[in-house]
Chain A
Amino acid sequence: MSTLFGSLSVGRQSLAAQQMGLAITQNNIANVNTPGYARQRANFAPGDGSGDTAVGAGVRLVSIESYRSRLLDIRVNGEIQRQGEYAASAEVLQQVEAFFDETTGTGLQSDISTFFNNFSSLANMPQDAALRQQVLAGGEKLGMSFRDTYEKLQVLRTHLDRGITEAVAEINSITAAIAKLNYEVVDMRGTMGNANSSIDERQKLVDRLASLVDINYFESESGSIHISTRQGALLVTGTEAHPWQVANGADGALRILAAGRDITDDLQSGRLGGLIHVRDTQITSYLAVLDDMAAAIISRVNAQHALGADAQGVAGGNFFVPFIGAIPGSNQGAARALEVAITDINKIAAADPAAGSGSNQNAKAIAGIQNELLLSGNNATLSEFYTHLVFRIGLDTKTGVDGMETQSHLLSRLQEQRDSQCGVSLDEEAINLMYYQKAFEASARFIALVDSLMDDMLSILGG
């Protein structure tokens, strides 16, 4: 059985509830532009009355709920990882392809052609000093182009190491922040507080972490999240962050250590995975192609040059400085070592040693090297081998650039989907505002009515 005082109490609860609704609406509006914010709503429940004829005891606020979709969060997170990977490889490879400017015919191919064709020119006039000079100049230019391209790729690798260091530092600062937020979420839940804003902030950081490295994460019952890489290297367990280290590897390239274990080769995605893939797989293979080409040029040209006789009829010496690799049987470093060994134009061995210095036989033979199947197990000419490199660089870059574009479309759609569930709509909030305002007004009027009823009662009593 309800009493007037009881009605007042119901009115008070109602006022408080509508006010809370207004406050939540206000908070949603305030965060309309906050990245990662998920809109919140008040969950009300009717207060229970007692006895069979009870009319209920007003309204009570049960919880403030945040519209998070765990499923979409995880999908978005996964796509962010690949987006980071493609973006890193596109960014680096676009610099690499600029070193191989073959679309305008000014790249390495033109130096290779010029080098061999200069020998063909010399074959027209084997004793001509100007043509001999041209042969030397062509050799020097060829060496310079190889060394220069090799150097540029090496410098780029050093820059990549810097990028890797920065990414690891950022990962460490993010995991530390997530560990702290884990503590706050668990703590607030323990004291029945509202952890929604910490969860939003934490999800934003998890997304940022995903753009850097491939991660798996799950939420424990206590509300904290555990993060590790897909290959199992720990990042965050509960309230504890596991910072990573970088250290110089055997070849001077940076390695990434988690708890002292080298995990560099395990990282597959995210910006860090992308940078490591470009550095250790792609650029390394491009350098190897240049090395193989340079080694083939050095050894084959030197061998043919030695078969000829120079302007004085002396047997030809080395045209290029012979390459002696640091690692036996490996061509590593040959492109950096491609350099003409002779300075005297008369030392160019253009002639057949059995004939006079006017013979052009050896110059012609050296010019013919450009058509010999020197590479890929005697299956490809220098030019064909190089063509394959150009194709690979173009394709790798295209994969990165296209991947980045596709990924960003995909991510946009997913984020839109997530936003349509979690994001704030001002129209909707305006309606909520009216909704709570009207309810508040009605409750206030109800309290005024109860007040007037009480006045009536008191006037009867006071007579």
Chain B
Amino acid sequence: MNWIQVLLIASVLALLVFLLRSRRRAKSKAWVKVGYVLFVMAGIYAILRPNDTTVVAHWVGVDRGTDLMLYALIIAFAFTTLSAYMRFKDIELKYARLARAVALQSAQVPEQR
């Protein structure tokens, strides 16, 4: 086993522990956690037998396993960016509502003339 493989597997496992320990609403996130585990298992397999990704790549008409990984990464990155953007917009709206509540509580009425 190469040193790089040890390093990659260690960081993937660390990521798994970190993600599974994050305490969000348990039920709704259950499928996401199953996804993490599957992702980590596939990751470790690909690290140990890198040539097998090339076999999968050939199935879908891509020359090298590395290229397939890159394409998957680009798609995943685009989805992550979009979902972060949506989340950000949601939080912005909550922030606006909070600021509005504060503003309405401290409204000033002009002196009657």
Do A and B truly interact? Answer: no
